[in-house]
Amino acid sequence: MKNIVLFGAPGVGKGTHALLLAEKYDLDHFSTGEMLRQEVADGTPLGLRVKSLMDRGDLVGDDVVIGLIDKAITSTDKGIIFDGFPRTVQQAQALDFLLKRHQRRLDCVISIDAPREELVRRIHERAAVSNRSDDSDEATIRHRLEEYEEKTRPVVDYYKVSGLLVSIDGSGQINQTSMRLCKVVDQIIH
């Protein structure tokens, strides 16, 4: 039962690759972004609370996403691929705690790396086909990337220290990145 974090900046393709890996290796895919968008779409009290934060490109509160992930981990006996979580050091610490409580541990954190201009290009490309409001506004895109630099990048150091971090080049085509990812996951799984 392997537990993997897929890490990277907005637009790098975490969602796409997490889905591919979940299917190939029979893992449950937990995306906090998707969970939050579902809460907004359903008009739940939580959704109403987080909508404006997401529209601005702010991170939502740690307690909110940690609560969602706690519920998700409790719901499965399969291995898990985490997508878009953790995004702060506090979330990373909470994940360690939650996994331990469920007699699990983190096996690997894979960071997908790509240059900033490529991230912006991909977010614009996605905006044309998705109806994500945070993909179509320039100021929001810029702010999401700033939030990443300020709050999420320190998570890389957190996992470097624990020896769990593997970085791969995600600047090329989807299939190239996918092959690199599978090479890493194959080593963990076998």
Closer residue to ligand AMP in complex, CB, 27/72: 72
Q: Name the 3-class secondary structure at 86.
A: coil
Is 180 a catalytic site residue?
A: no
Give me the least distance between CB of 82 and ligand AMP, in Å please. Answer: 9
Is 144 a catalytic site residue?
A: yes
CB count in 10 Å sphere of residue 88: 21
Check if the beta carbon of residue 160 is closer than 8 Å to that of residue 109.
no
Q: Which of 19, 40, 53, 184 binds ligand AMP (CB under 6 A)?
A: 53
Closer residue to ligand AMP in complex, CB, 4/54: 54
Q: Name the 3-class secondary structure at 96.
A: helix
Q: Which of 9, 12, 46, 65 binds ligand AMP (CB under 6 A)?
A: 65
Is 116 a catalytic site residue?
A: no
DSSP string of 138-160?
Answer: HHHHHHHHHHIIIIITHHHHHHH
Q: 45: cis peptide before it, omega within 30°? A: no
Q: What does the alpha-carbon distance between residue 148 and residue 8 come to, in Å, rounded to a whole number? A: 9
Give me the least distance between CB of 3 and ligand AMP, in Å please. Answer: 16
- Footprint on residues 72-101 left by ligand AMP (CB under 6 A): 84-85, 87, 91
Q: Which of 57, 81, 122, 159 binds ligand AMP (CB under 6 A)?
A: 57
- Footprint on residues 112-141 left by ligand AMP (CB under 6 A): 134
Is 105 a catalytic site residue?
A: no
Judged by CB under 6 A, the number of residues near ligand AMP is 17
Is 132 a catalytic site residue?
A: yes
Closer residue to ligand AMP in complex, CB, 51/180: 51
Q: What does the alpha-carbon distance between residue 70 and residue 124 come to, in Å, rounded to a whole number? A: 32
Stretch that binds ligand AMP, among 30-38, 103-111, 115-123, 172-180 (CB under 6 A): 30-38
- 93 burial via Cβ count (<10 Å: 0-12, 13-18, 19+): middle
Give me the least distance between CB of 188 and ligand AMP, in Å please. Answer: 22
Q: Name the 3-class secondary structure at 164.
A: coil
Q: What does the alpha-carbon distance between residue 115 and residue 93 come to, in Å, rounded to a whole number? A: 27
Catalytic positions: 14, 87, 126, 132, 144
